[in-house]
Structure formats: structure tokens, C-alpha cells
Amino acid sequence: MKTGVILEELEQGVQRLPSLSLVVQEVLRLLDRDDADFAAIEHKLSQDQALAARVLRVANSPFYGMPREITSIHEATVLLGTHTIRNVVTTAGIIGLFPPEAGGALDRVGLWQHAIGVGVASQVLGRRVGLERETAFTAGLLHDIGKLVLDTLFEPLYRRVVRRCAEADLPFIEAEREVLGIDHAEVGRRVAEHWRLPPVIVAAVAGHHAPGDAPEAAVVHVADAMTRALEIGNGGCDRVPAPDEAAWRRLGLGEQEALACLREIDALNRSANLFL
């Protein structure tokens, strides 16, 4: 398939992408309010059984160490708080559009585990540049969304990308450009703009392989490298890329700071799979 045809089909495919469910959108809108109405949030969560079950699963995880089972959405929202509820709802909403059990060239369960890991790592690293924690998590979660779109639209070609990456020991993004004429970071930018996400998230997704001067892109770039080093999930390629030195400096990471961040990321990710 010629590059021009691929790009034309890609543009049409991005425009056809569905939005988040109405329940997810409404819960996120309620969480955005300074005076978050927990009764209204609980009511909305209760309208989506799968979403409610996910919230309860996180609340009952060993990470929170509750002495008894949490059985109500009310108890779960009080225990978890707005930050964690937002992360669970955001993750559930986006994963619902690209379910882990769907087939494709990629290990989607592994890819989502990796994406959630990068979201968690971005929260940890984002503190160093004053990046708001929910923004950091969402940017990390979505950094590889372009892979899922490409795998959905062009599965046979994407299998060639995976093979080329393995056989030639190429970085995944270079194999994409070679086979498709475009890479997942650029596709992710188009998806983020289509969903009308904030510019800071668009910049992070677009620049997570070449962060330049964007601090949010530097956060996700280093978070991606740390998550790969910790072998959290499967980003589609076994290579652990060396972090961009400018991005590393922007985060002010010395050896001890980096090790402390790695330990924190590793500990937090032990419960992150519950988001799936």
C-alpha cells in the first residue's frame, strides 16, 4: 500500500474514532469542579456497571490495605479520592475504545499495562516540573495511542512493522516510518487533537520520542524509558531506549533522584494493573 493511500485512510479512520462514553464524560466533568459533588459522581458511576466494578476492584486492592471488603461506590469514592477516581475513569473510558482482548499485531494487554505504567511514572516525574498530576497521568496513558490506531486500521502492515523491528533490531518508531511512512507519535497527535484534548497533552503525546523544549514531553519521554527499564507491560518492542539527555537534565535527575523515582514507580505499579 502506498504512503499516500495510507495517510488518506488514516485521516478518515481518525475522524471516525468514537468519543468517550457519555457516563465517562459526565463523571470527568463532575470531577473537574472545584466543589466536586460526590453524591452526583457516585450516581453516575452506578449507571455503568463495568466502571463501578473497576472502581471497587481498585478500592479492594492490597495497596489500600482495608480490613474489610469495600462493597459500595460511596465507600470506594471516599477511600480513593478524586485523583484516583479520575485516573480509573479515564483509563476505563479509553481502554473501552481499544479493548485489551481485541486481536491485532500487538500484545494489547501488555501495551495497556505499559501505557498505565507510563501514566503512573509520568505522575511521579511530573512533580519535578510542576505538571498537574491528572494531566501527567493522561499524557502518559495516551502516549502510545497512535500504535493502537495504526494496529486497528492497518493490522497486516503493522505486523510487518513488528517483524521489521525484531529482525533488524530497529527502534519501533523507525520501523513504522519505514513500513508506513508515518509513526505512532504523529498519529497520536492527530488523535489527541481530534478528541480536543488540552494542548499540553497533545504536545506530550506528539513529542514523547523527541521532547525538544516541551517539559510535558520530557516527562513522558523519561517515564517511558523508566517503565521499559522496569519491564512493566509490553510497549511493542523490547528495546530500552536511552533517554534524551536534555529531557533528563530538564527533570533535574541525578543518580540518586532517578533511583528514588524508579523505586516509587515500581511500587505504585504493583496495583496499577487493577485499572485494566
Which pLDDT score, from 0 to 100, does residue 233 have?
A: 94
Which pLDDT score, from 0 to 100, does residue 235 have?
A: 87
Asked whether the beta carbons of 171 and 237 are under 8 A apart, the reply is yes
Which pLDDT score, from 0 to 100, does residue 242 have?
A: 80
Q: Give the Cα separation of 173 and 245 in Å (integer).
A: 19
Which pLDDT score, from 0 to 100, does residue 103 have?
A: 80
Q: Give the Cα separation of 248 and 97 in Å (integer).
A: 33
Which pLDDT score, from 0 to 100, does residue 243 have?
A: 86
Q: What is the pTM of this model?
A: 0.91
Q: Give all domains of the chain, ordered by start, each with its CATH number.
A: 3-275 (1.10.3210.10)
Report the largest interatomic distance among the alpha carbons of the chain, rounded to a whole angstrom.
Answer: 59
Which pLDDT score, from 0 to 100, does residue 240 have?
A: 73
Nearest CA to 153 out of 7, 276, 4 is that of 7
- Count of other CB atoms within 10 angstroms of residue 60: 18
Report, in this order, helix, strand and coil percent for the chain, each rounded to 5.
70, 0, 30
Nearest CA to 92 out of 34, 146, 138 is that of 138
Averaged over successive runs of 10 residues, the pLDDT of the chain (276 residues) comes to 88 93 94 90 94 91 82 93 91 91 90 96 95 94 97 96 92 95 98 94 97 95 96 84 88 93 92 75
Print burial letters for 155-171: b (CB count within 10 Å at least 16), e (below 16). Answer: eebbeebbebbeeeebe
